[in-house]
Amino acid sequence: QVELVESAGGVVQTGGSLRLSCAASGGASRSGTMGWFRQAPGKEREFVATFRWGDFKKLYADSVKGRFTISRDNAKKMVYLEMSNLKPEDTAVYYCAATTSNLIFSEMGRKEGYKYWGQGTQVTVSS
């Protein structure tokens, strides 16, 4: 069983920055695919960013490309999401997600491919 724990989110102003972290424990290993999704009130959970542990192949949603950066700390089994130039539409609950599978590129952005989920953390961007 893989356990994922996200850091606390927060409230930031438009244009501000915030870093989220996700700690993987339990059966987590430095393999498979791990990333971030988010869900705004009344909306479907959507893909944000992800990567494969093995080759660090990364994928970003178009809406965050150039503003968000996903990174990792292999030794600590931590994944980070650096968010900059935040916009009110980035307001959502952010979820860390993982699977032990090395997802193919076309599947990396689909939430159905991820078996393990964190509890979620709220990010609010004020205008």
Mean pLDDT across 90-100: 97
Distance CA 2, CA 76 (A): 14
SS3 content of the chain, % helix, strand, coil (to 5): 5, 50, 45
Distance CA 26, CA 7 (A): 17
Mean pLDDT across 83-110: 96
- Residue 62 neighbours by CB distance under 10 Å: 6
- Give the 3-state secondary structure of residue 45: coil
Distance CA 85, CA 78 (A): 23
pLDDT reported for residue 28? 57
Which residue in this structure is represented by tokens 């102003």?
A: 13
The percent of residues in the chain predicted with pLDDT above 70, rounded, is 97
Mean pLDDT across 92-119: 96
Distance CA 75, CA 43 (A): 35
pLDDT digits (tens, 9 = 90+) for 23-77: 998 765 667 999 999 999 999 999 999 999 889 899 999 999 999 999 999 888 8
Distance CA 108, CA 127 (A): 31
